[in-house]
Chains A and B, each alone.
Chain A
Amino acid sequence: MPDNTSGEPMEFFIDMQRCIGCNACEMACAECETNGQESMIHIHYVDRPFSVQTTVQVCMHCEEPACANVCPADAITLGADGIVHTAKTSHCIGCSNCVLACPFGVPKKSDTKELMMKCNMCYDRTSVGKKPMCATVCPSQALYFGTRTEIAEKRPNSIPVNHFGFGNENVKTKVNIMMPKGYSFLKVK
């Protein structure tokens, strides 16, 4: 049964400052059937010697994905629903271009499997109206999956932003990051 019956589409909302580094998402991610028991989510300390700040990163599903554009093997595809799929196992040659080009640092590459793998927003679940594994277990709701109405109600002081700047490059994504009200863009560097 779908997790949402309101008819309003569900979206992903992230707030890394809420993350407490409990790693529950990492364990849950490995339960996602599309990853074959391997965890794709990134959770780590930002700068451990100086802070206990942790960050958590899922694939942001860019509208114009750098990973797919730099792939020499046509292995990464963007679905009509805006999901950037993980590399096709038949095509991926394990060159790591996507790993190094993704501005969010998302794809992972296995040397032995000669294969890139990444978060595909639990396609087995989200494609049938269920929430991704990580968001269902996150106790801090740093990872939240739900409707815009819900998030507006739950986070009265924040607003979803899906527009990011990396140098001269502007990137628009399907996944949102929660920012203080009044912001519509996050200049990363």
Chain B
Amino acid sequence: MAMLSGVSLTNEKSYMVGKFARLALKTANLDYNGRLCMVSAGAGNKKAFGLDRSSNSWEDLKHAEVILIAGANVSETFPTLIHYIWEARDHGAKLIVVDPRVTPIARTADIFLPVRPGTDSALFGAMLKVLADNDWLDHEFIEKHTSGFEDTLDAVKDYTLEWAEEITGVPAHRILEAATLWGKAATSFLMHARGIEHHTKGVDNVLGCINLVLATGRIGKPYCGYGTITGQGNGQGGREHGHKCDQLPGNRDITNPEHRQYIAKVWGVEEKEIPGKGLSAFEIIDAIHRDEIKGLISICFNPLVSLPNSNYVRAALEKLEYFVAIDFFLSETAHHADIVMAGSLHEEEEGTVTTAEGRVVRIRAAVTPPGKARKDSDIIMELAKRLGAEDKFTYADSEAVFNELRVASKGGTADYYGITYKKIEDNMGIFWPCPTEDHPGTPRLWEDFQFKTPDGKAHFNPVPYRESAEVPDEQFPVRLTTGRVVSQYLSGTQTRRIGKLVDQSPYPQLEIHPELAAKYGITTGDLVRVHTRRPRLNSRLWLWKPFVPTPYSYPITGAEKWRLTSSPTVRSTPFPKFPNLKPPLVS
């Protein structure tokens, strides 16, 4: 038996799902779709800071001198963040953008670094070397509050600008310009997203960014910050409260005996009743194929669209003896279910979510679930009842769930104990950690420089450059990378049903530089077939719409549009981002 969950659930529902899988389903195999999303960022943050949260409220962003954004097409994936960046620029901030494509924010950036896909860590390494060579370092901070600096510096000692230019394709002078801007600034903010995280070496890229922040000591101070831009509706809160295979509420570790003991007490069970670490989302699919898992419950997850290699996932779903899907619409995945339970949307249930800033905010039920659809929480409680665990799921309302979550998270790194519904409403949200009821919350982390690592210091991590898992060769000479469009959200279960949004991007599109297009004799609007190392893709005809040369003429980019069905990415975690694109055939 296994369960799959999703990060678009509210904090309350995420917490309930975690408890439900462990106590009602009694399975260890519970994992969530954040696995495809932000694990690299989370892992990097935990390694460096011992905590996985954006270090600052975005208010700090507005007054930073330099803003560096890496691998984030903010304009299409997080338009509301633009408001802060643009305001910062109005205040005089300089913007550096690292991206293989000229995204709308890259277009007007002060410095744009058009990096070759998969070479981000080389760029960050070279920038770190420039900082060190020019002594644009915060020695006091490095000495007192960090560890690992020498080794980290040692790893980049050969990363000259010329070397970086060759690897990344970014002109040396432009890298120098960016490093100088970053090095000389008094305040700065660095943000990144899936663009640098969705790689086999996503953690390297994340650590490369963090090294730049730590070397200049610009964290834990006003207008100085670092943060990863979250993906889903509750991208931050959804990864904190225990519906991951290795996690218990409050960002606790399911393998840690003390943590298990504490949660067992909160749940009123024996410690041994809580299962151990289970399989991750990909491993669950594998296990289904191996006949080790025969039953599955899925909520708020559309693996058929969002997991790579949809044919493999489809076969697994078909193989299941018993499959229950809880979803608000009949998603591609739900089509394969034995039983579909009509659940609720974000807008149909009370609760809280935690924003990309780490701010816990209330969301309201604006409408009630139509027809026979029920609230997700009602469905979970009803299922728990039928499974004989009714006494563990006796919540009167979402606030009751939240109050239990507060206790469960108490003492964990993501400590919500001091946050109450009333406090959230009175203060326009509260930033965790908030350990006591009289605590105001923590908009800016690390002001005390007490990091959550075992030694209390922030950790530099050496990032020697290594090549991507796949590099172009004669058979597959072109790099393919993926991207998103503003009109489609997540797997599109909601947005692909809205006519006006579908009109904006009716089908997946391939963007290709005109020089490359000319080489293959294709042009805008043509249908092309793309061959990659993923075998199943060969048989599939896709509608691609070639586009894009940019003013910067960066020649090797493609953006696969919204529907990631059979996406040319491999099955593994974290997965590489840029398998290759063979000469497309025009059909």
Contacts and interface: CB of A to CB of B under 8 A. Distances in A.
Interface string B486-517: 11000000000000100010000000001000
A57 to B, nearest CB: 17
B547 interface: yes
A173 interface: no
A49 B549 contact: yes
Given A49-B548, A154-B90, A22 B486 contact: yes
B104 A20 contact: yes
Size range of the interface on B?
20 to 34
Given A23-B487, A139-B80, A49 B524 contact: yes
A17 interface: yes
Interface in A137-171: 139-141, 154-157
Interface in B56-89: 74-76, 79-83, 86-87
B86 A52 contact: no
B550 interface: yes
B103 interface: yes
B82 A140 contact: yes
B394 interface: no
Contacts of B524: 49
B83 A54 contact: no
A139 B74 CA distance: 11
Interface in A1-43: 17-24, 26-27, 30, 39
Nearest to A18: B86
Given A22-B76, A49-B524, A49-B547, A17 B108 contact: yes
A39 B501 CA distance: 13
Contacts of A17: 108
Contacts of B82: 20, 22, 139-140
Nearest to B81: A139
A36 B51 CA distance: 50
B408 interface: no
A36 B227 CA distance: 42
A51 interface: yes
Size range of the interface on A?
20 to 34
B550 A20 contact: no
Nearest to B86: A140
A113 interface: no
B500 A30 contact: yes
Contacts of B548: 48-49
A26 B486 CA distance: 12
A157 B80 CA distance: 23
A51 B102 CA distance: 8
A52 B99 CA distance: 14
Interface in B323-345: none
Contacts of A30: 500
Contacts of B257: none
A132 B487 CA distance: 22
Given A21-B486, A139-B83, A141-B83, A49 B102 contact: no
A48 B549 CA distance: 9
Contacts of A136: none
Contacts of A156: 90
Nearest to B498: A27
A52 B104 contact: yes
A50 B549 contact: yes
A20 B106 CA distance: 10
A50 B550 CA distance: 5
A52 B504 contact: no
Nearest to A17: B108
A17 B87 CA distance: 14
Nearest to B80: A139
A128 to B, nearest CB: 24
A21 B90 contact: no
A16 B50 CA distance: 42
B551 interface: yes
B105 interface: yes
Interface in A83-113: none
Nearest 3 pairs of A and B residues by beta carbon: A20-B75, A22-B79, A20-B104
Given A54-B104, A139-B82, A141-B86, 17 more contacts: A20-B79, A21-B76, A23-B486, A23-B487, A23-B504, A26-B500, A27-B500, A50-B550, A51-B107, A51-B550, A52-B103, A52-B107, A139-B79, A140-B79, A140-B82, A141-B83, A157-B90
